[in-house]
Structure 1
Amino acid sequence: MIIKGVIKGVIKGVAVIAALACGPALAQDYPTKAVTLITPYAAGGATDGYTRAFGEYLERVHGLGV
């Protein structure tokens, strides 16, 4: 009975390692074009100002238009 538990543990471990190894292989470059930020509140408010500041930050970091 102990052997069955060990085998199940090994299989689960191999499955987790395989899943983690596939992540970088499936990754895509993002963003490849301009990003649009939509603020669902009126212009001139606090949320609008925060979104504009965040957009400027994204432009500096990614080098693409926001």
Structure 2
Amino acid sequence: MTMSLKDASTKSLIDELSNRTGIKVVSTGLYGEYDLRKKYDADRETVSAEMILIVDHLEA
């Protein structure tokens, strides 16, 4: 039986992806204050996040 992605928790998906070939997990920190905002959206209000995923490239 195949599980649907919409039924998986975000944590489960992150845990799975972090163990894939080509994925590098690094700890980062801030050197100063920051504002996290959507770049290409009319709604430019500040966004808060516990984790940020950076995708360097996607394989087909």
TM-score greater than 0.5 by the shorter chain:
no
Q: Which has the higher contact order (CA 8 A, sep 6+)?
A: 1
Q: When the two structures are superposed, what TM-score results if normalisation uses the length of structure 2?
A: 0.20
TM-score (norm. length: structure 1) = 0.19
Specify the structure having the higher radius of gyration (Cα): 1
